[in-house]
Amino acid sequence: MTKDHREIQRKLRILRYAEKIGHVAKACRYFGIGRASFYRWRKAYTEHGEAGLINAPFPNGTPIGRRLSVRKRSFIFDVNTISDQCGSCGI
């Protein structure tokens, strides 16, 4: 069983449990996930089936991907700025 397959089965188990008990908040609390994740998984499952539950990396074209790449660049910039300012202290 691959990592992706285990993750799909976990998400399906959570979706089925919530359907069985009829209470999304209780199911999310029981499994320790956020309701936003639950609803995102449910929407993906209804639209694409099991293929929608696969964890896919965010491409840079999406807003989240852009934010992550901007943070990475700004972190590198900040580190370079700090090292330039501390050149005399040997750091």
The pTM of this model reads: 0.61
Q: Tokens 């209804």 belong to which residue? A: 46
Alpha helix stretches (DSSP H) within the chain = 3-21, 24-31, 35-48, 63-85
Helical axes 24-31 vs 35-48, angle rounded to 10°: 110
Tokens 């989240």: give the residue.
Answer: 64
pLDDT tens figures, 10-31: 999 999 999 999 999 999 999 9
Give the pLDDT confidence of 33-87 residue by residue, as tens digits: 999 999 999 999 999 898 888 887 655 555 555 555 555 554 454 555 555 555 5
